[in-house]
Amino acid sequence: MTTRDDATRGAKVAVRDRVLRAALAAFEDKGPDRVRVQDIASRAGMSSGHVLYYFRDRDRILISTLLLSEESLAERRDRAVRRASDAAAALDQLTRLYLPTGPRDVRWALWAQVLARPPEDIATRDRLQELANAWTLCIAALLQPASPPDGLAAASLYCHLMDGLAMEVLLGASGHGRAWAVREAAAGLAALAR
Amino acid sequence: MTTRDDATRGAKVAVRDRVLRAALAAFEDKGPDRVRVQDIASRAGMSSGHVLYYFRDRDRILISTLLLSEESLAERRDRAVRRASDAAAALDQLTRLYLPTGPRDVRWALWAQVLARPPEDIATRDRLQELANAWTLCIAALLQPASPPDGLAAASLYCHLMDGLAMEVLLGASGHGRAWAVREAAAGLAALAR
DNA sequence: CGCCAGTCTAGAGTGTCGTTCTAATTCTCG
DNA sequence: CGAGAATTAGAACGACACTCTAGACTGGCG
């Protein structure tokens, strides 16, 4: 049994979701900075005005898409951890999931957009921060048993190291693609989890 | 004795420089994303059309300003190294110079802008990459004597760790300001240079 | 000296967006 | 059903980067 509020809220969520999926698809083939609100609207089969009726402005679409993208990646992360044979294998998988697939990686491109113009309200910034924290906690759990006294500190350092590597991949300089980042990360993990 | 070409070239450089200084000043009080070409032009005492006669587009102003800003920071870096009493003190100084002063740090804000829309041509991207490499080399030289076989690898990891920390400071989440980043960096250095 | 070619400069013009407004349609509930 | 609220499309608006145009300046050469 659903009340009116529940029903309309459900519909709203569905429309929002349709927009976000359209946005994600658009970002994948053009890069977030080249995608216009109109592009997203067309893909979602609605007018640009309507898109902005649901998301107050373009930036909110970016942030919401990032949130969606992180959410689905988090699921893959948790599944990978569960399936991994041992901690080392899990860490390897997580590293590969976390690092960008290349200079055009949508998730990282969205992070770059957000960092270029961070949200005004602290609440949203803190919420984005939480996304990073979740990875740190997950990695800390894997590091804890075998490692230095404070696995959390090491995990935090490792995550930030990967952030730095990701940014460099995003820049797209020659010789600094995903493969390079994976190698650097492996070296970093070895040094930090000692 | 200067030929006509030398003279005009010198004048060109002077005008470009005036624009870049105006841009830097503007970025400092509004953040690069909020500064319009017109703002820069006003500060430099010229028309916006004229600014774009020297820099083909807005992005080139951002990149050139970043280059200028990195250049002056590199000088401070080299001076700090020369003046430091020992390697540990030098590393501490370098870390403080490298990390952002806060969420509004102009240099890092410019990096964020560039990463959000990386230059089309590989040459420019490689040139930006070189800026990072210079820091790595500088740190490697300080790490080399006292450290693991490969100081360069450790230096690279440390730089990327700081990049990641910087990005998080830029995001501006609560509790993740400069002081936090400096602490994390210190912990990271201890772990990496072991 | 006086013209010519090239460069510099301001400012108006143009096109592309994000965003807001308006008016119409559809839904919800009494 | 009918009032009012929510939804929708599309036109209108404003801001901005970038381009164009026309005039001013400069330095060389007859």
Quick check: B110 pLDDT over 50?
yes
Report yes or no: A101 and A179 within 8 Å, Cβ to Cβ. Answer: no
pTM of the entire predicted model: 0.94
Tell me the chain A residues in contact with residue B170 when contact means C-beta distances shorter than 8 Å: 115, 118
CA B6 to chain centre: 29
Q: Name the nearest CA neighbour of A95 among A110, A66, A73.
A: A73
Pick the most confident of A141-155, A179-193, B3-17: A179-193
Q: Separation of CA A110 and C1' C24 in angstroms?
A: 37
pLDDT tens sequence across B52-92: 999 999 999 999 999 999 999 999 999 999 999 999 999 99
Whole-number average pLDDT of chain B: 94
Reported confidence tier of residue B109, pLDDT bands at 50, 70, 90? very high
Tell me the chain B residues in contact with residue A154 when contact means C-beta distances shorter than 8 Å: 191
Q: What is the ipTM of this complex?
A: 0.94
Q: Separation of CA A86 and C1' D25 in angstroms?
A: 76
The rounded radius of gyration (Å) of the Cα atoms in chain B is 19
pLDDT tens sequence across A160-171: 999 999 999 999
Quick check: A47 pLDDT over 70?
yes
- Cβ-Cβ contacts under 8 Å for A166 (sequence gap 6 or more): A98, A99, A100, A105, A108, A111, A181, B164
Tell me the chain B residues in contact with residue A166 when contact means C-beta distances shorter than 8 Å: 164
**Chain A closest-CA separation from residue B112 CA (Å):** 5
Reported confidence tier of residue B145, pLDDT bands at 50, 70, 90? confident
Reported confidence tier of residue A194, pLDDT bands at 50, 70, 90? confident
Q: Separation of CA A56 and C1' C16 in angstroms?
A: 20
Q: Name the nearest CA neighbour of A103 among B107, B114, B167, B160.
A: B114
Quick check: A117 pLDDT over 80?
yes
Q: Considering Cα of A96, then A101, then A105, then A109, what sign does the dihedral take? A: positive
Q: Tell me if A191 and B194 make a contact (CB, 8 A cut-off).
A: yes
**Chain B closest-CA separation from residue A25 CA (Å):** 18
